[in-house]
Amino acid sequence: MKRDAEQKVTVEDLLRLKRAERPPDEFWARFESEIRAKQLSAIVSKRPWWDRFSGVFAVARRHQLSFGAAAAIALAFAGVRFVGGYSEIISAPKVATVRPAAPAPAAPVRVAAAIERTARPQEEAELALREAAPQPRPAVVAATVSHMTQVPAAIAADAASRSLFAGGIAITLADFREPATSYPVHSAFGTDSDFEPAIGPARQQASDPLAQVDPAEERRARLLAPALPAYASGSPRAVAGDWMRDRDTSDDRMYESMDKEPNDHMLVGFRF
Amino acid sequence: MHASKTLEKTLVASPERKLEADADLAVVRQVQAGDVAAFDRLIVKYRERVLGIVYNMTSNREDAADLAQDAFIKAFQSIHRFQGQASFFTWLYRIAVNSTLSHLRKNRLRSFFSLESVREDDPVSKELIDALTDKTGSGRDTFVRELQEKLNDAMQKLSINHRTVVTLFEIDGLGHQEIAEVMDCSVGTVRSRLHYAKQLLQAELQPYLLK
């Protein structure tokens, strides 16, 4: 090997040697015939059906940033719409149109209540808002005697204007639940003597059903009880009240469904 | 308009490449218009360079012939998608390099080399061999063969990407920007790969480097 100080061979020179590695001339004749055969078979062979979409994919690949951003925005919009709609459903349930019972007056009155089944959406929204607003906890109703509770005069008048039978058949769906009794919180080490006076008023309030019972109604119910052998075991007035409520509720549903039918060709209308 | 701007950016360093690209584009338009025979001109023009790239990447002349032919067929099948945003030459190189990389990754464990002989009718290679050895006759041929195998071993020790960069830059004479387009990477990546590959080659070929 020559080792001339003036001559320098670098890596680039050695790699340039590889350029001289070339096939003989006869190789190209074979190469050309082979490539021509392959080209012909490529022309003849049918392209697969999915190859038609390659152009679309090529466009999508070229504009992948734009498509990606558009897809992200669409997904975000759809997500917000879905979550927003879901939260509306959660926050304003349409079934929550029952008005809470008003505070019981000092003198017991015959109870009447109404359901606003045919309320317009606006009215329902108002009711929902009223329901959501903090309201004073209603007084405990003597529900053990009758499920009928007193309805405020405005509601009764509204119900009467809706139906001729409102005064008679209006059924209360007032909150039958007893208000949550707020028991005072005691420490785990409190004594019974501390607990009993604290719990006393709440317990008294919940267990005084006769405070609002009409004596005349009570007497009449007692007299009618033998005449109703089928319900002899239960309170006759309560049973009658349940039956009336069920009947009128089903009637209301039927009228409501017929009244709300948006059929212009239907000439027969039911209005009560 | 956009295509010509891209082309200008690609080939700004070599006006002759721009002329070449324009001529290629005209032929490509003919093929796209249905003149299938026009594609033969592109094959004849680029077959040696495509084969050279594939051969120097695989170090196997049979595989190189197959891969080069496949690259031309793929280009022919997809020529309707070529819009002239890059030069045809870059596009064809990209097809060839990607096919070769895929082939090398698939046959990573299979290493069978078959080298072409060095043609000494090339003045550059003759001068280089003269500089490296003073032997003549069979001794000279043996030395050239040994050097060739040593070069091939050194190239095979590089990773596929490094080997590709060295092949495209040192053997085929592409610029950094063109290599970046062919390999779909940044120019910085090309430079760094080239630097690293040369360091490795220098260490491997130290006995053949004259100081």
Which of A120-129, A147-156, B65-74, B137-146 has the weakest average pLDDT? A147-156
Residue A100 · residue A174 · CB < 8 Å: yes
Burial of A231 by CB count in 10 Å (0-12 exposed, 13-18 middle, 19+ buried)? Answer: middle
Q: E strand or H helix at A204, and its extent?
A: helix A192-206
pLDDT of residue B37: 87
pLDDT of residue B13: 52
3-class secondary-structure state, position B71: helix
3-class secondary-structure state, position B114: strand
Q: Residue B3 pLDDT > 50, yes or no?
A: no
Calculate mean pLDDT across residues B27-36: 89
DSSP assigned state of A100: P
B51 vs B68: CA distance, rounded Å: 5
* φ/ψ (deg, to 5) at A21: -80, 95
pLDDT of residue A174: 46
pLDDT of residue B165: 93
Residue B152 · residue B115 · CB < 8 Å: yes
**Domain-located, residue A240:** yes
- Identity of the residue numbered A26: E
**Domain-located, residue A7:** no
* φ/ψ (deg, to 5) at B118: -80, 130
Q: What whole-number percentage of chain B has pLDDT above 70?
A: 83
DSSP assigned state of A230: G
**Domain-located, residue A144:** yes
The total of other beta-carbon atoms located within 10 Å of residue B48's CB is: 14
Find the radius of gyration of the CA atoms of chain B. 19
Residue B42 · residue B88 · CB < 8 Å: yes
pTM of the model: 0.50
Which chain A residues are Cβ-neighbours of B39 within 8 angstroms?
39
- Residue A34: which of B69, B118, B148 has the nearest Cβ? B69
Mutation site for A-interface testing, chosen from B48, B95, B170 by largest number of A Cβ within 10 Å: B170
pLDDT, mean of each 10-residue run, chain A (272 residues): 56 82 85 87 72 69 82 89 66 52 48 48 62 54 44 51 49 48 52 63 58 74 71 52 61 57 51 56
Q: Which residue of A has its CA nearest to B211?
A: A8
| B131·A7 Cβ contact <8 A | yes
3-class secondary-structure state, position A257: helix
Candidate CATH numbers 1.10.8.60, 1.10.1740.10, 1.10.1760.20, 1.10.10.10; the one for domain B119-211? 1.10.10.10
- Compute the nearest-CA separation of B66 from chain A (Å): 9
Calculate mean pLDDT across residues B172-193: 90
**Domain-located, residue A189:** no
Give the CA distances from residue B208 to residues A73, B10, B119, B190, in Å, rounded to whole numbers and listed in that order.
61, 36, 20, 26
Mean pLDDT of chain B: 82
* ipTM here: 0.76
**Domain-located, residue A34:** no
State whether residue B185 sits within 8 Å of chain A by CB.
Answer: no
**Domain-located, residue A10:** no
- Compute the nearest-CA separation of A14 from chain B (Å): 8
Nearest to residue A100, comparing CAs of A183, A159, A178? A178
Q: Where in chain B is the domain with CATH 1.10.10.10?
A: 119-211
Residue B171 · residue B56 · CB < 8 Å: yes
Burial of B96 by CB count in 10 Å (0-12 exposed, 13-18 middle, 19+ buried)? Answer: buried
Start-to-end C-alpha separation, chain B:
51
- Residue A2: which of B122, B134, B148 has the nearest Cβ? B134
**Domain-located, residue A245:** yes
Domain count, chain A: 1
- Residue A9: which of B120, B166, B208 has the nearest Cβ? B208
The total of other beta-carbon atoms located within 10 Å of residue A19's CB is: 18
A49 vs B88: CA distance, rounded Å: 27
Calculate mean pLDDT across residues B107-132: 71
Which residue range(s) make up the domain with A127? 93-177+202-265
State whether residue A216 sits within 8 Å of chain B by CB.
Answer: no
What dotted CATH number matches B1-112?
A: 1.10.1740.10
